[in-house]
Amino acid sequence: MFGGDHMPEQLITEDLAAYWTGRPATTIRRWAAEGRLTRHQDHSRRKNGVLYSLNELPAAERDADTRALITPAPTPPILGQDDLLAA
């Protein structure tokens, strides 16, 4: 189908991104405005039409049994910054 180990990009809504990271939705939007996350437009499925890539979102630490938040996710780097630092 896709060949090799390629997985399709998993796009999630802002509220799921907030839960995944343990951060408020306003932080998710700020990270995107700062260039830390890519905004994907999908006006056909969502009222605001914005989705985020799960691959770009750091995961919060949560209790394995209760899923209660232990530690929010760290701030992700600005996209492409790793490439600049390696040069």
- Each residue of 55-70: pLDDT tens digit? 999 999 999 999 999 9
Domain that residue 46 falls in: 9-58
The whole model's pTM is what? 0.80
Separation of alpha carbons 35 and 37, rounded Å: 6
Residue 2 included in any domain: no
Residue 3 included in any domain: no
Separation of alpha carbons 45 and 72, rounded Å: 28
Partners of 50 in the beta sheet? 41
Separation of alpha carbons 11 and 34, rounded Å: 19
Please tell me the total count of domains within the chain.
1
pLDDT tens sequence across 3-37: 556 667 899 999 999 999 999 999 999 999 999 99
Residue 86 included in any domain: no
Is residue 40 within 8 Å of residue 55, measured between CB atoms?
Answer: no
What 3-state DSSP class applies to 27? helix
